[in-house]
Each structure stands twice: as structure tokens, then as C-alpha cells.
Amino acid sequence: MDRQVAHKGDSNRNAGRTEWQQLDDATLHRLNEESRPEIAPHTCSFCQKLCIDANRNGAHLMSFENGKETAVTLAECVRAARNDCVFCVYLLALDGDLRGLSLETVAELVAISKSRPILCAPNFDKADDGPYLYVTRNLWTDQGDYQPYIRKFQLYTAPKALRSHSKLASGNMHTEQLLNGFLPPNLLPDSYLSERRARRWLAQCEHSHSRCRARQGTFRPKRLLEISRDGQVVRLQHDHATSTRYVTLSYCWGGNYPGKATKANIHALRHFFNAEDLPASIRDGVKMASKLGFHFIWVDALCIVQDDDQDISEQIAQIHKIYTSSTLTIAASSALNSWEGFLHARTAWRPSLVNFRSYSGELVPVLAVPTEVDRDRFINTNPLFTRAWAYQEIQVTTRVLSFGSRNTAFFCRESEHMDGGSYKLDFGNYLKQGVSASGFLNAGMKSLDSARHPKAWTDIVTTYTELGLSVASDKLPALAALAEEYGKRLWLTKYLAGLWAEDLQWQLMWERASFDSPTTRPPIYCGPSWSWCSVVGPITFRHDYKKLSDLELLCSTEAASTTPCSGNHIFGQVSRGTLILKGRTRDLIWLNRQDGTWFARVPESRSKKFYGVGPLGADRRLEVKPDVPSEWPPDTEIALRAVEIVRFRDHVNDRYDWKFTRALLLHRVEGDDVYRRAGMLHVDIETGKDEDWFDEGSTMMEVTIV
């Protein structure tokens, strides 16, 4: 296609845009709802009778009719849901063990519940994202089990145009102030309202935020996808000037994409082709980039030759520069895969028009907008936040425009904005919970967290290992950009397969996240056994101490090295790694029982402090924490060697008479002194009652761990 034709502007669209520019946000919001009935506020005969009473916190949800109020029962809600009441359909949505039950099954539970009333609890603390309404559905099973399930609705002042739907009075300014002045969440991410807000946020950041401008890099990727001015066609471009502004796209692949860049089609992609031929998530990314005035976007599926190992290696090594130098990252947060897209209407959050009684006793209509109440529900509806690659992409970028399941959000180093609504359990809160210790890397964080290395890094790794990877060998590459940025900002000098040489001993104390956390070994070599990257599954660093100065270091690192698979890219895959520690060591027998009780004893004699398990009993001071329990045969006794790492007092629980030692558990693999890591050993000593286990018969020696 001719370049001039490809960049021809759409005059009709521009004319319409000029007309819309004169309207305020509230008017645009109303026009959105009028044009799309599936997102317009719901109302029905049931909703018109509902009454949320500000004076009855923790009381029953009431129904108002003919001047009388009665408690709303679950049975009534089921009948309304069968008649497509949006409020009741959301209210009856089940979770946990009851997820997926049919409405008929719910009705049976309701019948068992003997028409118990629904409880509600209004909250008007605006500092706590209020006002909102908690609604509890009390279900009783035929076994007599109580099943409370909570739904949360945020309350907004109903637009004047909707108040005529209510049989009640229109209310006054007092009630409007009691609620809030926010518009409800914008349920049309593809609307002009959403675009205008995003442009406003981006412009404000670029012009006013010195921290964001200072962080912007000048690197330009080898390839970028060029977008025509009308956004209809795209092509792959090579070699760009440093002045070229571009955006990056963070999204879930969700499987193979036949149109991805390959050796066979890389030259064909240099010619303009229809953007409609792209998968929906990539197409939506192109569309939004074009709306925001960008003509270039970086998409990994098209900008990396996917069947060229050398190109993959080269480009992955530059991911850090690619994302830190982009003007903006568009996050397809709500899309499960590349074919789903993220600009569709958010019908799941359609508000309902219900009635509200203020403190003064007046009755007014309000909008009740469904709202997530916990992190798990939020994560389930924003699949991008479950992916390891997306984690680092979002962390290292300067600005993020997230298209979530509930709203559109903008985050940068100095500010955060939401596309309507006042409730903030979305993209930013998830990141802050996940990597609060790395606040200086986190888009949206306004100040540095108090945590510093190595705890900042261990917090990052803990969150990262909870996320999903489709390709096992991506374990280190998917964290490489974040690791490079982290090391650069903290002046760390040596990276060792997911650990830092600085304060290495503390980072060796990783273990399975919990007793029942599933862990396995990857199908291929991903790193040395002493690194967390050798395990698939969530891990943690148990901080049973208040500060690093509480720890007494008991071993030394004599040597530590890894061999990168690709040249000098130390943050990517490794082919081998070796660690030599010098410290006190002691042999033990791990009594691996099928019931999951992991005790141990010394091999040479019966312990003075023992449990009644095993032929000689188990030392009650010792607790084995295997990295991958399933790789060891159950009901066997396994010979291991422990090397002492650190010791500390119990300052966390103020039990100063207890002394804790943490040691690496090693299993001999070759020769006399070459081992692989098997897990962690916890040694708990009560001062004055127990002898120090390592004092009883340890040997100072060097051990080589691979």
C-alpha cells in the first residue's frame, strides 16, 4: 500500500471528534450509556423497591412499598434474578465451594435457609474508597453449614436524567455530598471519553513530571510496528531515530499466533497490511496507540523473529531498554489471550438504580455499582497479572495505561488516575501489594518503600514465583529486565541466576511458600539447585527476624559463578552454576514420612531429644523443609548434609530465650564434596534447655553446590 494513502487522515472522524471535544465528561458518560443499552443503569420493579438505609448499618436490606418496609429475603432475590435483575444476579453469584452452581441449586439452598433476610452494611468513609455497601447472603446447607458470602457495591449519585425512574423524591444536595462527586466507572474503554482522559493524563505526565521525564531512555528497538494515521494498516519498520516515540504492549499470548514474525514472513511484514488481520488484543493495542497519537508500537510477537534463536536471544537481552525507553506501556490486563481483546464493553459491572435513605431521612435514587472485594476475584478477572512476563514489563516501564476488567487506569512515577469511579482495587493496588519493597521500580508508587536490598529483591522474587510461565526455560529471561533495572539502581555488581552476590547468604534462605505449596522441578535445566529458579512453584523467604542486623552470619562464600547461555547476557538463561560455601556441616538422616511429617535424626546415635518416629527417634530440634517433596520416595530415610548459614534470636515474637539456626540441606551427587541443594533445615533451640545442634558434632569444611 502506498505510504501516502496509508497516512491519510479520516476527515469524518476528525469532524466528529471536534464536536465531542466541546462536551464535558458527565455528558459524554451519559451519551455512552444512551448509545449502549447493555451498560446503561439497570432498573426493574424489584430494584425500585429496594431501600439502602444509612441509619441501619448492619441491618437487613429493606424493600419499600406502599409506605411500608420489609426485609428482603434470599427467595425474593432468586425470583428477581430469574427475571434478569442485574442487582440480584450479581448478588447471588457464588464463590469458593459453591462456584458454578445453577440458579435452581441456589434456590434449594435458599429454601433450606428458610427465607433468611439479607444483611447490608453501608459505609460512607470517603477516605476508605467509600461510600459503598456490603451485602451478605446467608445460606444454610442441608447439613446445617452456614455459608456467608459477601458482595460489595459502590454507591454513586444518580444522574438527574435517571431520577424520574424512581418512585421516590429526587433528593437534595445534602445526599449528593454524602455520596461523592465521582462519575461511575466508564464501562466503554473504546469510547472517546476514555481516549480523552488517557490523552490528558499522558500530557500532564510528560509536561509536569520531572521524575518520569528523567527516567525516559533514548534506546530504540531494532523493529517497531508502524501505524498509519487512520490506524487501519500497519507494517514492520527497521532502524529508527532516537526521536521516534513509541508505545509497548503488554498482553497474554494464550497460545500460538500463526501470524507471528518468522524467518519466512519477516520481509512480507515490512509491507502495509490490514490491522484487522491481527489478533484482537494486538489489534486493540494498535487502535489505542493510534488514538493517543502514536505511530509506532512494539509488540513482541511481531518485533521478534519467533523461530530465530539468535534474534530471540538478542531482543530478550534488550527488553529492559525497550520498556524503559517507551513513552507508554498499554496493558491488556483483562484479556485472557491475544484473541480476546480488551476494548469490549464492561457489562459485568453494569450499575443498578436503587433507593437510598440518608441520615436526614430523605429517599433518593442512587447507582449501586458491583465492586470486587478481594484480591483473588480481582486477579481472576485480570489475567495479565498472573503472567510472569507481564510482571517485569509493567515494573520497568515509566508509564502504564491499564485496560482492566472494571476500569481503565493510568500509572506513572508520580501519579495515578482512574477512568471514572473512586474504588481503587485495580492494577495499582495489585502491584503495590506484590512488590511494595521495590517501590522505586513500581509505576504508580509515589514514594520509596522503606525496604532495601536484599529484602526488596526477595519480595520481588516471592511475587514473581507465584506467576505463570508457558515455557520453562523463560524462568530467568522473564525476570531479566527487572533484575537489570534493580541492579542498575542499587549499584549491584554480580547477578547469579536470580540471586545477587551482594548479601548472597541471606538470599540462599528461600523455601517453599507453604506446607501445601505444590513445587516441581522444571523439565529442562533452568539454573543451579542453590537458586530458586531450579524449582517450579511459589517460594518465599521467611523473615523470622526484624532486621538484617539481627542475623549472625555463620558461613562464607568462597566462590560463586554462573555461565550464561547467550554471550555476556548475565541476566538471561544459564547453562551451569557453582557455589562454594565454607562453614560448619553435619550429617543427618531425614525421616521422610508419607504423612508429610519431615523430621530428622543424627545417623550415629539416638538423640536425647526425640519424637517417637523412626528406628532411633527424631530430634525435636530439627525440621526438614524439602524444596520438592515429590522427588523423594516416601517412607524412606535419606542421608543429607547440613551446612550452617545464619543464626538469630526470636525478636519477632519477643521470645529472646529461643535461638534459631537456618542451614542448607545438601545431597551428594558426585565425588566427596559436590552436592545439590535438597531444601532448608530449621534448628530451633531453647536457651538453657537444649544444646546447640551444630555444637554437638559438626565439621568445618568447604562444600561445592551445583
pLDDT digits (tens, 9 = 90+) for 239-251: 777 788 999 999 9
pLDDT tens-digit readout, 632-656: 988 888 999 999 999 887 655 666 6
Residues 81 and 146 in one domain: yes
Which of 442, 467, 490 terminates a domain? The answer is 490
DSSP 235-282: EEEE---TT---EEEE----S--TTS--TTTTTGGGS-EEGGGS-HHH
CB 679 within 8 A of CB 625: yes
Peptide bond into 629 cis (omega under 30): no
pLDDT of residue 250: 96
As a whole number of angstroms, the distance between CA 417 and CA 29 comes to 17
H-type alpha helices, 470-597? 477-490, 504-507
Q: What is the mean pLDDT of residues 353-365?
A: 80
- Which run of H or of E encompasses 515? none
Tell me if 448 is assigned to some domain.
yes
Residues in CB range of 267: below 8 A, 6 or more apart: none
Residues 252 and 317 in one domain: yes
H-type alpha helices, 549-633? none
As a whole number of angstroms, the distance between CA 401 and CA 386 comes to 18
- Amino acid, res. 78: V
Helix axis angle, 280-291 to 192-208, nearest 10°: 60
Average pLDDT, the chain: 80
Tell me if 190 is assigned to some domain.
no
* CB-count exposure of residue 274 (10 Å: 0-12, 13-18, 19+): exposed
Peptide bond into 615 cis (omega under 30): no
What would you report as the CA-atom Rg of the chain, rounded to the nearest whole angstrom? 30
- Which run of H or of E encompasses 227? strand 223-227
Structural domain count of the chain:
3
Residues 653 and 673 in one domain: yes
Reported confidence tier of residue 626, pLDDT bands at 50, 70, 90: very high
CB 399 within 8 A of CB 410: yes
Reported confidence tier of residue 521, pLDDT bands at 50, 70, 90: very high
Tell me if 473 is assigned to some domain.
yes
Which of 428, 457, 490 terminates a domain? The answer is 490
Tell me if 34 is assigned to some domain.
no
Which of 475, 490, 505 terminates a domain? The answer is 490
Most confident of 160-169, 391-400, 423-432: 391-400
CB 366 within 8 A of CB 153: no
Cell of 630: 515429590
Tell me if 25 is assigned to some domain.
no
Residues 485 and 543 in one domain: no
pLDDT of residue 635: 84
CB 462 within 8 A of CB 507: no
Cell of 659: 535461638
As a whole number of angstroms, the distance between CA 111 and CA 94 comes to 16
Residues 440 and 587 in one domain: no
Q: What is the mean pLDDT of residues 75-100?
A: 73
* Higher-pLDDT residue of 672, 40: 40
Q: What is the mean pLDDT of residues 82-107?
A: 65
Q: Is the pLDDT of residue 132 over 80?
A: no
Cα–Cα separations (whole angstroms), residue 430 to 172, 257, 374, 433, 435: 37, 29, 10, 5, 9
pLDDT of residue 551: 80
CB 44 within 8 A of CB 85: yes
Residues 145 and 281 in one domain: no
Residues 626 and 676 in one domain: yes
pLDDT of residue 271: 95
Residues 385 and 453 in one domain: yes
* Domain encompassing residue 515: 495-705
Residues 335 and 363 in one domain: no
Reported confidence tier of residue 607, pLDDT bands at 50, 70, 90: very low
pLDDT of residue 665: 97
Its pTM stands at 0.85
pLDDT tens-digit readout, 163-203: 444 444 444 444 555 565 678 889 999 999 999 999 999 99
Residues in CB range of 547: below 8 A, 6 or more apart: none
Q: Is the pLDDT of residue 139 over 60?
A: no
Q: Is the pLDDT of residue 118 over 70?
A: no
Residues 154 and 121 in one domain: yes
Q: What is the mean pLDDT of residues 660-671?
A: 90
Q: What is the four-CA torsion angle of 441, 447, 450, 451, rounded to 10 degrees?
A: -10
Order of strands across the sheet that contains 273-274: 273-274, 233-238, 223-227, 296-298, 247-250, 328-331, 400-403, 408-411, 416-418
Q: Is the pLDDT of residue 321 over 90?
A: yes
Q: Is the pLDDT of residue 126 over 60?
A: no
Tell me if 458 is assigned to some domain.
yes
Cα–Cα separations (whole angstroms), residue 64 to 68, 164, 168, 264, 297: 6, 17, 10, 68, 54
Q: Measure CA 612 to chain center.
A: 44
Tell me if 214 is assigned to some domain.
yes
- Amino acid, res. 463: T
Residues 96 and 126 in one domain: yes
Tell me if 37 is assigned to some domain.
no
CB 252 within 8 A of CB 336: yes
Q: Cell 514492520, residue?
A: 236
Residues 416 and 285 in one domain: yes
Reported confidence tier of residue 552, pLDDT bands at 50, 70, 90: confident
